[in-house]
Amino acid sequence: MFSLFKKDPTKKLRTRYNATLERAMQAQRNGDMHAYAFITAEAEELWKEIERVEIEAK
C-alpha cells in the first residue's frame, strides 16, 4: 500500500550510468579509444550493480 512513497533504489545508479555512457560517447567521438574502453567498462560495472539492487529489491 505504501510502495507509492518508496524511493527508487536505482535512481542514483541509473543517473550515474547514463552520465558514464555520455562520457564514453564523448571520448569515442574525440578518438580516444583507450578512454572509451575504460569508461565503457566502468558503465558495465554500474549496470551490474543496478541489476543486483533490482533483484534484491524484489
Q: What is the pLDDT of residues 15-51, one digit of tens each?
A: 999 999 999 999 999 999 999 999 999 999 999 999 9
Strand, coil or helix: 9: coil
Q: DSSP character for 1?
A: -
What per-residue confidence (pLDDT) applies to 3? 63
| pTM as predicted | 0.85
* Residue 8 zone, left/alpha/beta (φ > 0; ψ -120 to 50; rest): beta
pLDDT tens profile 2-16: 566 778 889 999 999
CA 32 to CA 45: how far, in whole Å?
Answer: 20
Helix (H, G, I), strand (E, B) or coil at 44: helix
CA 32 to chain centre: 21
pLDDT, residue 6, reads: 76
